[in-house]
Amino acid sequence: MTEKNQWENAFTFMMAMIGSAVGLGNIWRFPYIAYSNGGGEFIIPYIVAILCVGIPFIYVEYGAGYRFKASLSKILRKINKDYEYIGWFVLLIPYLILTYYTCIIGWNIIYLCLSFFKGWGSDTDSFFTQSMLHSTTNPMGIFSIVLPIFLAVAFVWVIIWFISHKDLNKGLGKVCKILIPLLFFIMAGIVIYSITLPGASTGIKALFTPHWSHGPLIDLLDVNLWLAAFGQIVFSLSLGLCIMLTYSSYLPKGVNLVKNGLIVALTNSAFEIFTAIGMFSILGYMSVTSHVPINDVITDGAGLAFIVLPSVFNNMGHAGYIIGPLFFICLFFAALTSALSLIEPLSSALSDKFGISRDKATKYICVVGFLISIIFTSGYGVTLLTYFDDFLNQFGLLLTIIIECIIFGWIYKIEDIMETLNENSNLKIGKTWKFIIKYFIPIVIGFMWIKGNFDNFINEGVTKAVIQIILLAIMIIVPIIFTRLPAKVEDY
């Protein structure tokens, strides 16, 4: 038998949950998604997405994890022996995401070091794509490893292993309790400084003014606007990755799950809206000082963090030497606490089935994860990373949400989960929640899944299709192996 993981208190659990949710999605994805989907117009679908998808789905995982106190594969095996396979399929997805998430953290560490002396030079675009990534679209580029990135990624895996292999509270819990408040504090400093910059109001106005193109009624009927809002909430709250299920399985008795879930969802959104104000103030400053319309400076993802912002830090003079490092520290804290959560579902499932200690499980996971990550440190790495990301988010993440809703909403008695959730809460969840889990989420997310995969399929080149088919084969075969291997724990 393995030692039982248990949070020392509900606060540590909450910090870990916020650490998982607040990540790259909040800092570099939200501002762009909000702006490119109509700015102020986005707020309405966004609020609906939090209330109708985000919070209700959090409760499914909270309730299931807390009730069964086990990993998904074990829960499914308990419900019906034949379902164990589905559990391993779902659990593999956060792990595969982690293999490239660590690579982005590696780039971030390099930029953190460079930010102290603005080592990216004046042409930040060619520095990032060429000097740093040696990026190529030729698949043969997979054989040329970029050494600094390789070393940075190895370092990231060592950090992840070092924190995760320890006892739950001394490792993961302690790190989240320190880094999350620190992240919020530093980000507050960056945002407050940013709004004092000349041009900040231009940026903030661009972010919050609704850009109605056909008037509110017609615009709000646009399906894509709603899909963008649901997609942001799914990504930002790490829904469907079984992280919340695993974290809540570590809870002691007597925790108010309903209140806890509300705080996590609201804190996550408050953080991303607040951060977007800072990002847009900085972009407004850039637009005004370099006389470029804000439309032309805004972008998301790596382009924002590693090309646009370094160029703004260049223009800031001495302040750039402070704001730059602080920004990359924030990105590092946010991404690290998310990465630590992506390891947990698989690690807990391995311990449950094979009786290995947390220490051993994380060791295997980190070694294999690092070996997979190496492909992303090659010249072809960025292209591969984009293919993996598109596929895992579009195909994997949405599918796992639907699977979980079907399992816990239809196959398992949803009333039992409801009872668990209401056990320690004055605020009771009831029929509306049940309706959302059984009908609303599977239909909405199902529609997103079909539409997204269809669009992906139409626009796909041959190489991308081949790579995604290989990935799909891995996602199907590996769970078969885990299911077939005999359990080493008696009550499995």
Positions that interact with ligand PFF (CB under 6 A): 21, 23-26, 97, 101, 235-236, 238, 338, 393, 397
Residue whose CB is less far from ligand PFF, 361 or 397: 397
Cα(71)–Cα(133) distance, rounded to whole angstroms?
37
- Least distance to ligand PFF, CB of residue 113, Å: 22
Please give the DSSP secondary-structure letter assigned to residue 210: B
Residue 383 near residue 225, CB atoms below 8 Å: no
- Least distance to ligand PFF, CB of residue 234, Å: 8
Q: Is 296 exposed, middle or buried (0-12, 13-18, 19+ CB in 10 A)?
A: exposed
Residue whose CB is less far from ligand PFF, 136 or 238: 238
Residue 456 near residue 79, CB atoms below 8 Å: no
CB count within 10 Å of CB 319 equals 12
Residue whose CB is less far from ligand PFF, 182 or 485: 182
H helices of 165-256, in order, are 174-195, 200-208, 216-219, 223-236, 243-249
Radius of gyration of the chain (CA): 22
Cα(271)–Cα(301) distance, rounded to whole angstroms?
17
CB count within 10 Å of CB 174 equals 17
- Least distance to ligand PFF, CB of residue 404, Å: 15
- Least distance to ligand PFF, CB of residue 25, Å: 2
- Least distance to ligand PFF, CB of residue 65, Å: 17
Residue whose CB is less far from ligand PFF, 271 or 433: 271
- Least distance to ligand PFF, CB of residue 161, Å: 19
Residue whose CB is less far from ligand PFF, 136 or 275: 275
Residue whose CB is less far from ligand PFF, 7 or 391: 391
- Least distance to ligand PFF, CB of residue 342, Å: 7
Residue whose CB is less far from ligand PFF, 167 or 389: 389
- Least distance to ligand PFF, CB of residue 337, Å: 9
Q: What DSSP string describes 44-88? A: HHHHHHIIIIIHHHHHHHHHHHHHH-S-HHHHHHHH-GGGHHHHH
Residue whose CB is less far from ligand PFF, 101 or 482: 101
Residue 378's DSSP bridge partners are 145
Report in angstroms the alpha-carbon separations of 390 from 292, 326, 334, 464.
Answer: 30, 29, 21, 10
Candidates 59, 89, 58; CA nearest to 73 is 89
